[in-house]
Each structure stands twice: as structure tokens, then as C-alpha cells.
């Protein structure tokens, strides 16, 4: 190996979704639309929940935080991807790469733990409705949120520090559209054994813990619902969980496919699957939660109606000023 190949790299090249020049502008347009839809949809969910007194309960509190985390999650990845679609160099500095990796892991893990907390919330609401207000009180919700954020930050810091200790050699081309852990590890010319062991132990535990929590919560919900005598009662109970289950399936299904495999097996298919949990799930969340939830529908309708009223009042005021002598 030459001396130049042993020099510590100062930047990487992100290969993106396609290396063909003719694909770049269509991909830019597609992901720009998806990003704008994600921002608009999740922002509407947050505003609808914050402005409607009927949505001031733990379930919608966590949904608003999930929407905020989804905005941050996609913002960590998509803007840089959009720039690279229109750029010839497609480079990212070493420091920027590790920063992107850190925040990607932070918001990804926050999403994961929030989905688990929301499953617990549904379990308490369905299986222990008379004690719901006392069990899911403001203090406990705050503690659950604080734990999700704190653990996610520490987990992400561990993995980024382990990556930072590695030596990277030429070639410096990352076979991905952002600095994900596995594609970056494949460029290391020093041993990644510790990274892989930590990823398959602590990393897997951090993903499996909320997943197991969700499974247990929904098994207990299923048992409780099957004991409900009326069909209408069963349908109502399942309808409150259907939106959450759809998001959980999309998120954990794609993550399991990408990460629960040896580093040597990482391929282009994993790059495509990554889009599901980095961009697609965040974009679909507002539609899934609003279209299948009557309370959210009413909240969004009230918000849109309020905005229209304010715009009409503003336009009328401006019209009156124009007609004043």
C-alpha cells in the first residue's frame, strides 16, 4: 500500500443513489418534493396538536414530539443529498460526516423510543383506562421523553467515537447517499472488530429493547381486546392502534433489513431500503396519523379553518386601507 493511501482522509465522496448524470435532476425533484411534503405535513401535525385543547393528552404530546423528530431526522440527511444531486464533487468533510452520522443516530433512536412510549401509552389507555390519567401523568411523560433523548444521545456518541478512532485510507468513496455507520466502516483500513461487536451487542439491544416493548404492549392489548364482548368495542380499540402499528411496521421492518446483517453483506439494496426509514416513513407519518384518526382530522380542519379566517381578515383589512380616502 502506497504512502498516499495511508494518509488520514480529510473528506469523503458520497456516491448517492445513482452515478448516472441523467438521473440527478429527476432525483433532485423527487426528493425535494418528498422533503417539502415531510416538513409541511409534520409541521401541520405539531400546530394542530398545540392549538387544539382536545388534543392535549399524552398520546398527542408524543405524536407532536415524533413529528418534530421526523423533521430533524430528514433534515440531517436530505438537504445534503439535494446539494449533491446538483453538484459535481459530492464531497463531505470528515468532521461533517461524523456530525451527520451522530445526529442521524440521535433522531433515529429518538424515533424508535418514541414509538415504544406510544405503544405503552396505548396499552395503558386500552387495558387500564380508569387509571390512564394518573399513570400517564405529565411528570411521567416528561421522564419518558427525557430518557429517550438522553439514551439516544449517549448511544450515538458511543458509536461516533468508535468510528473516530479508526484510520481511513483511499479510496474515500462512500457507497451511500449519507454517512451511515456501515458504509463508512467499510472504508476503514484499521480493524473494525470493536465497532462490529458493539453494533451487534449494544446497538442491537438499543433497537430490540423498544421493539420488544412494542410487541409486549400489543400482545397485551390484543388479549384485552379479544375479551371485549361487543364487535363495536373491538373495532374502536383496534382503530386507535392501527396508525401506530402501520408506522412501527414500516420503521422497524426496514431497519431490521438494513442493520441486522454482517458488514460484508451491505449492498445497494440496503441503500434503497434506507430511504424507507429515513425519508418515506417521516413523509407518510402525518398522512397515516391524520387519515386514520378522527381527532387528528378534526384538529387539522380547525387549524386550516383558523388560518383561512385570519387570512380573510388580513385581506379585508388591507382592502379597507386601499379604499380609504
- Cα→Cα distances 322→309, 310, 314, 316, Å: 20, 19, 13, 10
Q: Is the pTM of this model over 0.75?
A: yes
Per-residue pLDDT, 194 = 93
Helix (H, G, I), strand (E, B) or coil at 324: coil
Rg (CA), the chain: 23
Cβ count near 234 (within 10 Å): 14
DSSP string for 125-169:
HHHSGGGHHHHT-HHHHHHHHHHHHHHHHHHHHHHHHHHHTS-B-
pLDDT value at residue 319: 65
pLDDT tens profile 121-165: 989 988 888 899 999 999 999 999 999 999 999 999 999 999 999
In sequence order, the 6+-apart residues with CB closer than 8 A to the CB of 265 are none
Q: What are phi and psi of 177, to 5 degrees?
A: -100, 0
Q: Are 314 and 73 in contact (CB under 8 A)?
A: no
> Quick one: cell of 116?
415504544
* pLDDT digits 0-9 by tens, 238-274: 776 778 888 888 888 888 777 776 666 666 667 778 8
Mean pLDDT of all residues in 311-317: 73
Per-residue pLDDT of 18-39, as tens digits, reads 888 899 999 999 999 999 999 9
Calculate the average pLDDT of the chain.
86
pLDDT of residue 321: 66
Check residue 312 and give its pLDDT.
72
Q: At what angle do helices 21-51 and 281-291 cross, to 10 degrees?
A: 40
DSSP secondary structure, 69-109, as one string: HHHHHHHHHHHHHHHHHT-SS-EEEHHHHHHHHHHHHHHHH
Amino acid at each position: 500500500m502506497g504512502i498516499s493511501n495511508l494518509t488520514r482522509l480529510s473528506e469523503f465522496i458520497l456516491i448517492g443513489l445513482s452515478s448516472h448524470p441523467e438521473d440527478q435532476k429527476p432525483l433532485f425533484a423527487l426528493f425535494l418534493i418528498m422533503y417539502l411534503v415531510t416538513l409541511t405535513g409534520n409541521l401541520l401535525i405539531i400546530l394542530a396538536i398545540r392549538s387544539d385543547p382536545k388534543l392535549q393528552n399524552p398520546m398527542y404530546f408524543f405524536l407532536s414530539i415524533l413529528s418534530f423528530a421526523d423533521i430533524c431526522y430528514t433534515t440531517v440527511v436530505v438537504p445534503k443529498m439535494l446539494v449533491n444531486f446538483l453538484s459535481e464533487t459530492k464531497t463531505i468533510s470528515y468532521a461533517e460526516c461524523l456530525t451527520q452520522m451522530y445526529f442521524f443516530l440521535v433522531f433515529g433512536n429518538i424515533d424508535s423510543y418514541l414509538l415504544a412510549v406510544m405503544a405503552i401509552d396505548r396499552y395503558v389507555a386500552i387495558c387500564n383506562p380508569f387509571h390512564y390519567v394518573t399513570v400517564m401523568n405529565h411528570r411521567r411523560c416528561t421522564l419518558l421523553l427525557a430518557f429517550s433523548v438522553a439514551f439516544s444521545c449517549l448511544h450515538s456518541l458511543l458509536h461516533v467515537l468508535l468510528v473516530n478512532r479508526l484510520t481511513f485510507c483511499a479510496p474515500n468513496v462512500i457507497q451511500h447517499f449519507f454517512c451511515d455507520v456501515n458504509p463508512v466502516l467499510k472504508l476503514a483500513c484499521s480493524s473494525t472488530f470493536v465497532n462490529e461487536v458493539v453494533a451487534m451487542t449494544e446497538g442491537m439491544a438499543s433497537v430490540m429493547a423498544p421493539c420488544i416493548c412494542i410487541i409486549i404492549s400489543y400482545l397485551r392489548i390484543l388479549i384485552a381486546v379479544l375479551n371485549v364482548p361487543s364487535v363495536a368495542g373491538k373495532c374502536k380499540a383496534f382503530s386507535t392502534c392501527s396508525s401506530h402499528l402501520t408506522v412501527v411496521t414500516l420503521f422497524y421492518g426496514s431497519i431490521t433489513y438494513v442493520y441486522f446483517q454482517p458488514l460484508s453483506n451491505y449492498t445497494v439494496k440496503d441503500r434503497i431500503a434506507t430511504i424507507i426509514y429515513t425519508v418515506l416513513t417521516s413523509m407518510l407519518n402525518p398522512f397515516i396519523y391524520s387519515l386514520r384518526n378522527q381527532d387528528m382530522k378534526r384538529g387539522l380542519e380547525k387549524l386550516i379553518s383558523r388560518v383561512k379566517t385570519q387570512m380573510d381578515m388580513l385581506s379585508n383589512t388591507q382592502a379597507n386601507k386601499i379604499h380609504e380616502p
